Structure 1
Amino acid sequence: MIELSPQKLSATARKAFANAGWVFFDRIFRMATALLVGVWSARYLGPSQFGLLNFANVFPTVLMSLAGLGLANILITEIVRKGEYAENQLLGTAFILRLIAGAVSLFVIAVTIRLLYSDQPVLQAMVLFTSSVLVCQSVDVIDLHFQSRVKSRLSVVAKSVAFALSTLLRVYFLANHFSLLAFSSVVFVEATLSALILIFIYNREEGQHILHWRFNRALAIRLLRLSWPLMISEFFIFIYMRSDQFMLKELATDLELGKFSAALRLSEVWYFIATAITSSFYPTIVALKTQNEEAFQRAFRKLLSLLASISILIAVFITFSSSFLVNLLYGQQYTGVDNILVIHIWSAVFVFIGVGSSYWFILHDRQRLLLLKTIAGATVNILLNLILIPRYGAIGTSIATLLAQMMSAYFMNYFIKEARPVFFAQSAALVDVVKLTFLKDLLQRSR
């Protein structure tokens, strides 16, 4: 059994916050850079072409969960617990599984776009470029290894360098008026660079080498048995988070798609905070679960309260500043995006507490409940989109997204008896926000 003294726990918490800090740095760097280059791109391309560029990302995004096989949290848990399999077997097996899944996913996309858009060769090429990430993401098992060691700074270095270089390429394309196809190719460049730099850092910093990885057939079967509900669940999450853009293109216009895509850039950009905080504390939470259930429940409640507080602060800020931000960043040609943004940003509250609570299901071996919850959310989202998009366009899509997230991440936990502890913990966290509990605790600790 893992023993965590108060001093050890405090040191571990500080390490987790430092780890989260590196992830924050990466995302803030990306946000600041993407804000400048992304807005420049949006203005240069215009709403219609900008919407088409974002549409090319829909296909790989939807299949990313299948290519990843839902192995991320499972692999981190297995590494932290140090079970019967060596780490080189865990990493090697996960890498091969993801590589095969990524290649199959890329093939499926290639066939699909060939059938659906046979008269649009440029769009086909764009989708193939953006879908290259499905193969390159197999190398992200190195990132998961760093996360399990609470050493995300190494992944941040690799991905930040790749992002910086690809951003310079985007700027070059903008300055020299390159075509839409060139901009989609940058995704391929960034994914390839990121994979190569991750491998280089792993080989150098860890004193190991990917050639030492080994594939284990029995382990592969075990990992797939544990992860398949998460894989399907993540697939449905992407379905109802990205089907909006597909349905807007088919049921509305490219203009509505472009406006919705612009709103998403200001809304979903905050989601990384939930992932950074939760993933940084996950190794500690696994240890607490092993040692003391009561301590685990307290830590879980505090995590949800923190996530709820941050998400609501973000939603309030964006609600009151949406018009100013949209006019400043996008200009008059994106009129109406602020109304879309005001609705969509409140989905972040349920995304945050949903991300935070997802680990509860994994640690209690309730992955199948996550699948059920996600299917419910996807169903609600698609049905509401069919009703609302023809009449309200992008605003209708934002309403559908908000209600679907609310159902999947929160209310379904009440309807499923086994998940009610999560519903009550989430509700208590929301009450904590109203009572300013997190702020009061922070002030008391600072004295």
Structure 2
Amino acid sequence: MGVIYFLRTYKDSPVTRTITLLFGGQVVMAIAGLILGKAIALYIPPTELGDYNLLLSGLNLAHVVLIVPILQAFKTDQAQLGIRAAFPFYSRLIGLAYVLCAGALLVFGYVYDQFLPALLISAAGIGQGLYSGSIDYLNLNGKHRFYTAIQLSYSIGNLLLFALVVINYHQSTSLGLWLCLALSNVIFAGIGLTYSYKLIPATRLNVPDLPTFATFWRYAFPLIALALWGWVINYGDRYLISLYLSEADVGQYSVGYGLGAKLVILVSPFVVHSTRQVYALRAANVPTKAVWLVQRKYLFTYAALAGSACVAYLLLRDELGLLLLSDTYKEAFQIGPVIAFGYLFLTLIHLLEVQWYAYGYTRLILWTTIAGAVANIGFNLIFIPYFGLIGAAFASLLGFLIQFVVACFLYKSHLY
């Protein structure tokens, strides 16, 4: 019903054409990602992949706690004040964050004779933040063609780098994966920043108030707490699996989790396009009840599409497992569909949260995330010792479901 409603409303409209462009790009990216997943399953042993994922989880923690709040606050301020007014403050802030983080990591790597891994992790982290910030700016400026093109190039570039480094030079190790990620993030951060710089207007808006650390901190503090709890939801189970089971099991779980989490590709076009719409309404001070009338079109359409994809994945889980992975990762076959249903609830939350980010109601996002994190960890502590990897998957599903219920309650309460 959601699909029919959306198509009737936006048939042959610019919205439909943009969604089609974004969705087409996501399909190609999904294919590239699945090929990369297949290659990883064939060439990377579970223990090496488990070690890489544990380190990657640590990098993601630093990224979501220190960098994402800065990028999100910058996105909000530049929508209201203009990029010329917001850029000087936020460029200094993110530069300081990177200098402190990368410097500490490099010193740690030098002291413990792990300087090369520390260097690659630092490069990957810096590139990740700059790449994310640049493509966000492209989206907010309506440059959806280049936005899609750079994301496609990034996905294909990851695949080509894997073929060059891991397959051609036989680097089937955690270090080989970090080299691929560092090169990809740095290269495409450079491309994104170069094009984004050309879009910056020559003059800035005449605004009375410029960003200060006090205004940034009021906006970002809930996001930092949110990031910590969000990281617990998405990555905390890896460390519990490592504690109760082994690093090889972390590798198995990560592959199955990654396959199920591919559902996020379906929601990306809806989040990208609705974000631009909602932020435009925010700039015009449109009431949130009116924003819901825009958001629900995206929400219902996505729910119908993603729900169908989850059911199909569940029915074809063994066939898809053999096609997309390998016998080495057979335990991951059953994990993927469970995670996919969990991500159905999580991605629906992402669509709801677009309004909260735009209107500065980050405390609501924090409350829903805390609810999901507490449920997730609680279920993991109960399920992993008794049911192993599949128990961790069902713990994630139940945690996301509880988080979705809380988000719906808060969203409705906030509107009325």
Aligned-partner SS, 2:69? coil
Q: 1:278 to 1:139 in 2, by over 3 A?
A: closer
Q: Which of residues 374, 393, 397 is equivalent to 1:398?
A: 393
- Cα deviation, residue 188, structure 1: 0.8
Does the 8 Å CA contact 2:124/2:183 hold for their aligned counterparts?
no
Does the 8 Å CA contact 2:253/2:389 hold for their aligned counterparts?
yes
Q: 2:274 aligned with 1:281, yes or no?
A: yes
Aligned-partner SS, 1:56? helix
Q: 2:259 aligned with 1:259, yes or no?
A: no
Does the 8 Å CA contact 1:95/1:139 hold for their aligned counterparts?
no
Q: 1:248 to 1:293 in 2, by over 3 A?
A: closer
Q: 2:313 aligned with 1:318, yes or no?
A: yes
Match of 1:183 in 2: 177
Q: Partner letter of residue 273 of structure 1?
A: L
Cα separation, 2, equivalents of 1:361 and 1:37? 34
Cα separation, 2, equivalents of 1:77 and 1:63? 21
Does the 8 Å CA contact 1:240/1:382 hold for their aligned counterparts?
yes
- Cα deviation, residue 300, structure 1: 2.5
| TM-score relative to the length of structure 2 | 0.84
Q: 2:373 aligned with 1:378, yes or no?
A: yes
- Where does structure 2 lack aligned partners over 5 or more consecutive residues? 1-8, 203-208
Match of 2:324 in 1: 329
Q: Which of residues 226, 237, 262 is equivalent to 2:230?
A: 237
Q: 2:87 aligned with 1:91, yes or no?
A: yes
Q: What CA deviation, in whole Å up to 9, does each residue of 1:229-283 have, x standing for no partner?
A: 1232133212210111122122211232122111122111121332331221223
- Cα deviation, residue 408, structure 1: 1.8
Cα separation, 2, equivalents of 1:20 and 1:220? 37
Aligned-partner SS, 1:398? helix
Q: Which of residues 347, 353, 362 is equivalent to 1:358?
A: 353
Does the 8 Å CA contact 1:233/1:370 hold for their aligned counterparts?
yes
Does the 8 Å CA contact 1:271/1:352 hold for their aligned counterparts?
yes
Q: What CA deviation, in whole Å up to 9, does each residue of 1:301-356 have, x standing for no partner?
A: 22221222222112111111111111222232222322212322110221121001
- Cα deviation, residue 153, structure 1: 2.6
Q: What CA deviation, in whole Å up to 9, does each residue of 1:157-207 have, x standing for no partner?
A: 334434434432221221331241223111111111011111222344x27
Equivalences for residues 174-253 of structure 1 within 5 A: 174-180=167-173, 181-204=175-198, 206=199, 218-253=211-246
Cα separation, 2, equivalents of 1:127 and 1:396? 33
Match of 2:28 in 1: 29
- Cα deviation, residue 152, structure 1: 3.1
Q: 1:35 to 1:165 in 2, by over 3 A?
A: same
Does the 8 Å CA contact 2:342/2:400 hold for their aligned counterparts?
yes
- Cα deviation, residue 396, structure 1: 1.4
Q: 1:183 to 1:134 in 2, by over 3 A?
A: closer
Q: 1:148 to 1:311 in 2, by over 3 A?
A: same
Cα separation, 1, equivalents of 2:288 and 2:186? 43
Cα RMSD, aligned residues only: 3.2
Q: 1:358 to 1:41 in 2, by over 3 A?
A: same
- Cα deviation, residue 111, structure 1: 7.3
Equivalences for residues 9-20 of structure 1 within 5 A: 14-20=13-19
- Cα deviation, residue 67, structure 1: 2.7
Cα separation, 2, equivalents of 1:308 and 1:422? 22
Does the 8 Å CA contact 1:110/1:128 hold for their aligned counterparts?
yes
Higher relative contact order by CA 8 Å / sep ≥ 6: 1 or 2? 2
Q: Between 20-29 and 381-390, report the one with greater CA deviation.
A: 20-29
- Where does structure 1 lack aligned partners over 5 or more consecutive residues? 1-8, 210-215, 425-447
- Cα deviation, residue 293, structure 1: 5.3
How many residue pairs are counted as aligned between the two chains? 398
Match of 1:134 in 2: 125
Does the 8 Å CA contact 1:75/1:90 hold for their aligned counterparts?
yes
Q: 1:250 to 1:127 in 2, by over 3 A?
A: farther
Cα separation, 2, equivalents of 1:256 and 1:201? 42
- Cα deviation, residue 138, structure 1: 3.5
Match of 1:152 in 2: 144
Q: What CA deviation, in whole Å up to 9, does each residue of 1:362-417 have, x standing for no partner?
A: 34542112112212221222222222222222111111111111122323543xxx
Cα separation, 2, equivalents of 1:381 and 1:153? 38
Aligned-partner SS, 1:177? coil
Does the 8 Å CA contact 2:30/2:262 hold for their aligned counterparts?
yes
Match of 1:430 in 2: none
**Percent identity of equivalent pairs:** 16
Cα separation, 2, equivalents of 1:10 and 1:57? 40
Cα separation, 1, equivalents of 2:305 and 2:176? 37
Q: 1:407 to 1:339 in 2, by over 3 A?
A: same
| TM-score relative to the length of structure 1 | 0.78
Q: Partner letter of residue 323 of structure 1?
A: D
Does the 8 Å CA contact 2:109/2:117 hold for their aligned counterparts?
no
Q: Partner letter of residue 190 of structure 2?
A: L
Q: Partner letter of residue 251 of structure 1?
A: Y
Q: Partner letter of residue 196 of structure 1?
A: G
Match of 1:434 in 2: none
Aligned-partner SS, 1:57? helix
Match of 2:5 in 1: none
Match of 2:69 in 1: 70
Match of 1:169 in 2: 161
Match of 1:38 in 2: 37
Does the 8 Å CA contact 1:413/1:422 hold for their aligned counterparts?
no
Does the 8 Å CA contact 2:41/2:326 hold for their aligned counterparts?
no
- Cα deviation, residue 294, structure 1: 5.0
